[in-house]
Structure 1
Amino acid sequence: MSHLLEVNNLKVSFHTYAGEVQAVRGVTFYVNEGETLAIVGESGCGKTVTSKAIMGLVASPQGEVKKDSEIKFKGINILKYTNKQWQDYRGKDAGMIFQDPMTSLNPTMKIGNQIREGIIKHQKVSKKEAQERTIELLKKVNIPNPIERIQQYPHEFSGGMRQRVMIAIALACNPQLMIADEPTTALDVTIQAQIIKLLKEIQRVNHSAIIMITHDLGVVAGMADRVAVMYAGKIVEEGSAEEIFENPQHPYTYALLNAVPNLELENKAELHVIPGTPPDLVAPPKGCGFASRCEYCMEVCNRYEPQYTQISKSHRTMCWLHDEIAKEVYGFDNVRSVIKK
């Protein structure tokens, strides 16, 4: 089966006064039609930059997608698109729900106009038909009184309502791929649940693929089919949601899962944290990016970058603990048994 989206060896850098920031350093993954891939990790790991590269939104000359990178949508390398092709691709083939709707929506334009302009551009319909489609979209994302609402500005909407408008804009032309960049950030848990339910329902009806960018593992558990864990511009572990949650095979993945507050914790029990800070990607580490923060770090981790180890057909990880040398150091056969100690 061919994949809807294939990302191969994606490398993205930003040229700053401090030097070249290697934000994404050789990322490879795929997304199938109708499935949800969650990309998780700490702030600064490269999640949003990866999504912007897929949408062709890495601005030059500061931002640069390296020449040996490849992003294929339905088998075609979209990195070779002209500006006209990018404009046709955005909205029609792929839509993006941005992280902060208040800064992503135009404060000087009415909501109806912002939704309608994409419909008119890509579907070549009359203004009346576009207006009807806009009202229909607002109903679909559960915004009450859509006829009155299309005449209002973003500041007249609540945070949850603005996020629903962003979803309506992304859905306007029924794209096959939707990228949701932290769609529930800064929303209360009730609204978060409503947004996730809405996305799942839209996916069921349209059979669209979703890339969910998030650091909220609760959202991931309730929505994702597969999970890619990013750290320091690389995917350090990838697998099905069940494999990642039930059988994590990288110390960073386990640390992320362990850092989630647990209702079973005793009163005043210490919360787990990941010590240290992510590496400076102006001068990335030679070895494993997580080595300086990993309690299982060996000498080889600081000197050489690990290769991927295939745990199962759908599960891979990048960690020296899976090498034969680790068995000599730790005397173990199962990585998780070491991480859990």
Structure 2
Amino acid sequence: MSRNNSSCGLLSLAFFIMFVIISAFTGNLEYLYFLVGIFAILFVIVAIGDFNSSKKKSKFEDSKSLDLNLSNKPLVREDPIKLKQKPYIITEKFIGGQIKGVILPKEIAILTKIKSIKLFSKNEIEISKFINQNSDLYCIELDGPFWLENELEKKNQLTIVHIKKNDKIEPFLEHLSKQTELKYLSIIHNSKMDLKCFLPLLKNVTEFTLDCLINEFPTDLLRNEKLQSLNLSNNKIQKISIEHFDERILKNTNLKTLNLSGNRLKTIPLKLFDLKSLDNVILNNNPIRARNIKRLYKDYRNRVTLDSGQYEIIFRRFHPTSWLLIKIVFSIAFVAIPYMVFDSAGLSIIFFAFVVIAWKT
């Protein structure tokens, strides 16, 4: 946009110089008076536009929408720290590291007082027995094809479950169905799955992260009355179908934060904001159309989080196509007017040079 401003500024200067030369050659100051009047009007319009734009930007900097609202960030890490090729570590209440074999090592398998595990493996490892014997276990982060042979017992206190890169995700989730204490569920980079398989798990879940390259917005998730934070970032969602927003969803949902960043959404239906509990819709890195993004900012600026590129679209006074048309009109005028007024091809060539410089600026 700054390039367009520079080009049009240089073309405007050339336009002013051209009229001064025409007035000097013809001795008729009416051309110059006319030009001064036109430029005075343009400068007033631009000054008013800059003033209003600066006011909007200052409001934007102080507004709630600029705040990334970190307090609403899900407690479950979206991308656990990558574990290097090193042995696992064991403390009194925590196990973390890489398991290289196909079963849990004996020194891990016998433990019964563990509260948190963070394991990585490239091999299929069965861990239901280990989880059941650690009744105080509340947080598991598993990166790899871990699986459950048996259902987990109700006595387990699992609250946080993070599953990544697991092709056996569906049977794993089925065995989690009895975990009534589950509050934070994160499923990342699991491509082979049916979205309906985890719906029974969400009865008590308050924060849910789903990053599995899904194409459709999972409207059924909004039927969960306890869900407060839904993170659907970095998927391939292209459309939100509002026809599936029935009265039950609009009235019963308690969803406060909806993260849709990094998708392929071009239009955000305004009906989405009929969800009265929804405080923050994160829309960063989506190719949302200019008209739609401006309407969202106008009506729901305190309920959306946008990126810098989207704010640039909101605050710009001219569309890039408008700048292009202005440059084309100015360029034609510079080349044509000297020849039409003075019948001088040489003067047209001189102003053509100004045009070339302006377009390269």
| Same fold? TM cut 0.5 | no
Greater RCO between the two (CA within 8 Å, min separation 6)?
1
TM-score (norm 2): 0.28
Task: Name the structure where helix makes up a greater proportion of residues.
Answer: 2
- Bigger share in strand: 1
TM-score (norm 1): 0.29
